[in-house]
Amino acid sequence: PLRYVSKYSEFVKREAKKNKSQWKTMGPAKVAVPSPNDYLQKHSKEPKLAPKKKEQEGERLRPLSVPGRTYQPVIRIKKNFINKNAVAVITGKPKKPRHFCVDTRQGDKYLLEPSGLFPKYIRKKNYGVTPKYVTQRNEEMKREEEEYQASVLEQLKKKAMKILSEEERTNVLKALKKKWEEINHAFQSLPVLTDTRYKQMHKEELELKLNQLEHDIAAIEKHKCVYIANV
């Protein structure tokens, strides 16, 4: 059988040849030799101004204007910088010598002012003066402390203690004794056998109440003057 040949083979060869890189050649690249007439001329790289437009036939030059009587031309005076600098040097104040410190035998030196050895800060006008923000902060703290003390005194005045009168003391004592009798009666009414947890808790609660009432009654009977606080 005959060998198969694609109908696109020529197209593929042509495209491959067309897209081949031009710099992939055998041997040195073929570059056009520059012409000897194209040599670098003087002022050839300087920018060239646009050519002036010629006046058209229909256009006319404008008439020259005559300056007025009050016109004063600007006179530019050339400055002599050499004399100016000389006068500035003669009349200027001389520079003060800068303080150096030499610390090696070879004469190596460094400035004293930025080194920290020169007493620069203690010679300031405001050296040792308390800053304004510190004074303001101290005043604010003092004012806040005074306000706090005033509020505490006000609260103490509101909660000032007062003395019970004899009639009130007697009534309180009677009420406590009556309450003790009621709780004691309830305590005596408890069953002898406390075999449940509820009975035990109830008995303990009554005992605590009786002890507290006995303590309060003894304190009131012992002290004739009783003070209470307005809480």
Question: pLDDT tens digit string along 67-115?
Answer: 788 888 878 788 889 999 999 989 988 888 888 888 888 888 888 888 7
CA gap 180, 213 in Å, rounded:
6
Q: Taking the chain, what is the end-to-end CA distance rounded to the nearest angstrom?
A: 123
pLDDT digits (tens, 9 = 90+) for 28-55: 667 788 888 888 888 888 888 887 766 5
pTM of the model: 0.33
DSSP 109: E
CB half-sphere exposure, 178, CA atoms < 13 A:
6
User: CA dist 66 to 62, 63, 73, 75, Å?
Assistant: 12, 9, 13, 19
The amino acid sitting at 149 is: Q
Point out the least confidently predicted range of 14-18, 75-79, 227-231.
Answer: 227-231
